[in-house]
């Protein structure tokens, strides 16, 4: 009898009520999040203040961060990443907006086919698409140079020239991510009431006026979202640099993420690699905050 009372009391303690039940269900997810997200973040932050030598970690303070100011490869990686960001992101966002606006028109036939075709590169495996572009841009038997010859132009050593290799990466990135941004913008365009366009047409507004007076202002939040996600993705650019050009020639295409990988996994300088990663996170946070502020200021 006494044992039965103990069991009943134990069951009552374990009994979930409506107030605490959600937290019990969230506990496994929170535990996994802490183990695989929070702990690595804290651990890597501590690691950024350490130096790994002869199998021993030694605290070196801000040394890893100061090294970046004197590191020529890091400077080259920052310059290359900034170049991709400044050139590729605006081109891609503008192209995505134009395609979205075009494929949102009622008079365009086979819209679904074109939307799927343009979006397909976004769901293609990164390594597979990089290898395809490596073949396309091959100097001797690449399709791009073959087409250039057909129209009477000279071959371009796409993947071995300091400027042409950057252009190849920008073209590859634009091909891959324009469709992704286009689909998001189409969703935004479909939320704009048709009455606005009909009223503007009655007032005599042409296509360009409707685009810049109605579409673009109402699409600002979507354009901001696409710009921020594209900025973050470009700052984390790795696959194209690693597979297409290997960061060459002479670090002409190496990115911050690529250099971070080399530092950590090729040269085993984990402390310096961790410091680079936190500088990259800081840059992403600052640029994202500035973009939000600019849009809010315009509003």
pTM of the complete model: 0.83
Rounded mean pLDDT, 221-243: 89
For 58, phi then psi, to 5°, come to: -125, 135
How would DSSP label each residue in 234-271? HHT--HHIIIIITT-STTSS--HHHHHHIIIIIS--HH
Band of the pLDDT at 204, cuts 50, 70, 90?
confident
CATH number of 70-298: 1.10.3720.10
Q: In the 3-class helix/strand/coil scheme, how is 203-240 assigned residue by residue?
A: CCCCHHHHHHHHHHHHCHHHHHHHHHHHHHHHHCCCHH
Rama region for 247: left / alpha / beta (φ>0; ψ in -120 to 50; rest): left
For 120, phi then psi, to 5°, come to: -50, -40
pLDDT per position as a tens digit, 97-119: 999 988 888 787 888 888 898 89
Q: What is the mean pLDDT of the chain?
A: 84
Res 142: pLDDT: 85
Q: Is the pLDDT of residue 2 over 70?
A: no
Rounded mean pLDDT, 233-256: 88
Rounded mean pLDDT, 208-229: 84
Rounded mean pLDDT, 172-185: 92
Res 130: pLDDT: 81
Q: Is the pLDDT of residue 54 over 80?
A: no
Res 154: pLDDT: 85
Band of the pLDDT at 52, cuts 50, 70, 90?
confident
Res 34: pLDDT: 86
Res 13: pLDDT: 55
Beta-strand relationship, 50-53 and 56-59: antiparallel
Delimit the domains of the chain by residue range.
2-47, 70-298
Rounded mean pLDDT, 124-131: 82
Q: Is the pLDDT of residue 11 over 70?
A: no
């Amino acid at each position: 009898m006494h044992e039965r009372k103990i069991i009943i009391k134990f069951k009552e303690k374990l009994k979930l009520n409506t107030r605490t039940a959600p937290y019990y269900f969230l506990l496994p997810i929170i535990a996994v999040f802490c183990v695989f997200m929070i702990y690595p973040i804290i651990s890597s932050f501590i690691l950024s203040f350490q130096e790994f030598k002869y199998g021993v970690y030694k605290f070196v303070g801000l040394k890893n961060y100061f090294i970046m100011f004197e590191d020529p490869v890091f400077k080259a990686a920052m310059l290359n990443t900034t170049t991709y960001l400044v050139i590729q992101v605006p081109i891609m966002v503008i192209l995505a907006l134009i395609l979205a606006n075009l494929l949102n028109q009622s008079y365009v036939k086979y819209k679904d086919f074109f939307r799927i075709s343009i979006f397909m590169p976004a769901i293609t495996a990164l390594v597979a698409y990089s290898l395809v572009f490596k073949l396309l841009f091959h100097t001797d038997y690449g399709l791009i140079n073959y087409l250039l010859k057909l129209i009477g132009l000279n071959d371009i050593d796409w993947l071995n020239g300091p400027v042409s290799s950057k252009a190849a990466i920008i073209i590859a990135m634009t091909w891959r991510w324009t469709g992704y941004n286009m689909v998001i913008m189409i969703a935004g365009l479909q939320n704009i009431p048709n009455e606005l366009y009909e009223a503007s047409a009655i007032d005599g507004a042409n296509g360009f006026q409707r685009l810049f007076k109605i579409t673009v202002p109402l699409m600002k939040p979507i354009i901001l979202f696409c710009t921020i996600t594209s900025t973050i993705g470009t700052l984390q650019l790795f696959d194209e640099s690693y597979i297409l050009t290997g960061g060459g020639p002479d670090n002409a295409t190496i990115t911050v993420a690529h250099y971070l990988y080399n530092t950590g996994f090729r040269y085993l300088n984990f402390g310096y690699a961790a410091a680079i990663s936190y500088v990259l996170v800081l840059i992403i946070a600052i640029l994202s905050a500035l973009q939000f502020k600019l849009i809010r200021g315009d509003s």
